[in-house]
Amino acid sequence: MTTSGFQPVQAVELARAFEEEGVDYLFIGKSAAILLGYPFVTQDVDVFADRTPENGRRIVRALTRIGFALTADAEQAILAGKDFVQIQTGPFDLDIIFAPDGIPSFAAAKSRALLLEGFRIANLRDIIASKRASGREKDLLDLEYLERFRQEYEKLHPTPLRSAADLAARRFPAP
């Protein structure tokens, strides 16, 4: 049974399971922007995962643990690192993306990613580049608002956050 849209509790549940299984991933898309404070909604959770056989096995274990009933086809697609795997047989809708448009590699995106409150989040510039490169009408409609959000976010956070300790240091600077 799926929910009617993305809820942060879904991200917490997924992040916890992925961490426990050692999955190498980033939240991406509008769900990632929402974790950074983007004031819009989305219907699913999007993750960008490293395309390795072991990472695929870890993803399958993590998803099974949190209640996804993976079909044989979905499991095989994850293990093979298919570019895009859409899963609607779990507690929420999930898109696993191994090759998002507009991002040259997982390693490149990971080097620019944010770690915030336990969430591994793709950089807003990568999220925007991916949506722009997809060419899908619904993604293109989001671009103006995402770009405005990125500009405001970067004004408030000129140095990328890498950990909860970074966030705490910004909120409560040492005397």
Query: Domain segments of the chain: what residues?
Result: 8-164
Q: Which CATH number fits domain 8-164: 3.30.460.40, 3.40.50.620, 3.60.10.10, 3.40.1280.10?
A: 3.30.460.40
Full-model pTM: 0.85
What value does the mean pLDDT of the chain take? 89
Task: Concatenate the DSSP letters of all residues of the chain into one string.
Answer: ---SS--HHHHHHHHHHHHHHT--EEE-HHHHHHHTT-----SSEEEEE---HHHHHHHHHHHHHTT----HHHHHHHHHT-SEEEE-SSSS-EEEESS-TT---HHHHHHH-EEETTEEE--HHHHHHHHHHH--HHHHHHHHHHHHHHHHHHHH-SS---SHHHHHHHHS---
Reported as a single tens digit per residue, the pLDDT across 94-150 is: 999 999 999 999 999 999 999 988 899 999 999 999 999 999 998 999 999 999 999
